[in-house]
Amino acid sequence: MNLIHHILATGYATLFDVVPIAAILIFFQVVVLKKIPPNPKRIIAGFAYVLVGLTVFLVGLEMALFPVGETMARQLTDPEFIGSSAALGIVDWRDYMWVYIFAAAIGFATTAAEPSLIAVALKAQQVSGGAIQAWGLRLAVALGVAIGVSLGAYRIVSGTPLHWYIIAGYVVVLIQTIWASKFIVALAYDSGGVTTSTVTVPVVTALGLGLASTIPGRSPLLDGFGLIAFASLFPIMSVLAYAKLAEWMQVWRQKREYKRDEHEEEGKIL
């Protein structure tokens, strides 16, 4: 009974998210474009699916993932778990190894399940005619978030200023962009924004605030923020790197085939 109540309450909240969007879409469709899109019934059914699906998804997350994620973030940052030096109020970043590993793992896992990333990856696969595989893109993005959140956790532990990391990240993205094929650049930039949505933001924020409130000398309000920024910057780098790698692999494969062909030709001549 409790579950049904919960689903209804979440559904109500999700509906409120959708209402302004629907109002804008209907206004422009009816007043400005004065045209009904093809298959209106199917589109409305699609919206209903999105609404119900997102609601059920969120309720499930709140039951399964959020409590576990929060408990783990708390347990892993507990001075007792970390060891003696943290209990004495001395922070040594090496004591927090499990936190970095957990941060990477949770960043990877939540991103792999992020619905908006699934949407963009599907679209990219469709638009590129299969040259970009949805699964490969999602793994690349998830790997980027894993590295980003892990580094962000290190930043909170070490108490170093956020903006230097982000500025350094921008420089790396700039260099990669100069180098990258134009085909992937827009998608790579987009993958930074889509990673941080429904699933990732609450868990990663809980981790940041948990870390900042248990580590001596850190303030949750000042040091707790910033993980999301890491999580939206690093996927840009990992997707650009993934594209470069795929390019190299292809060139290498072509070269090898070319060589083999040459050998075969030589064999024939001999």
Instruction: Determine the number of helices (DSSP H) and then strands (DSSP E) in the chain.
Output: 12, 0
Binder of another protein out of 79, 93, 128, 244 (CB under 8 A) = 128
Closest approach of another protein to the CB of residue 267, in Å: 41
5 sits near another protein (criterion: CB under 8 A): no
194 sits near another protein (criterion: CB under 8 A): yes
Stretch that binds another protein, among 85-93, 112-120, 238-246, 248-256 (CB under 8 A): 112-120
How far apart (Å, rounded) are the C-alpha atoms in residues 164 and 166? 5
In the region spanning residues 46 to 65, those forming contacts with another protein, defined by CB under 8 A, are: 46-65
In the region spanning residues 143 to 172, those forming contacts with another protein, defined by CB under 8 A, are: 162-163, 166-167, 170
> DSSP for 99-142?
HHHHHHHHHHHHHHT-HHHHHHHHHHHHHTTTSS-HHHHHHHHH
226 sits near another protein (criterion: CB under 8 A): yes
Residues 6+ apart with CB under 8 A from 176: 237, 240, 241, 244
Stretch that binds another protein, among 88-96, 225-233, 237-245, 262-270 (CB under 8 A): 225-233
225 sits near another protein (criterion: CB under 8 A): yes
DSSP 216: T
Binder of another protein out of 8, 9, 30, 44 (CB under 8 A) = 44
109 sits near another protein (criterion: CB under 8 A): yes
Binder of another protein out of 9, 30, 42, 265 (CB under 8 A) = 42
Q: What sign does the CA torsion over 178, 127, 46, 37 have?
A: positive
Residues 6+ apart with CB under 8 A from 50: 18
In the region spanning residues 63 to 82, those forming contacts with another protein, defined by CB under 8 A, are: 63-65, 67-69, 71-72, 75-76
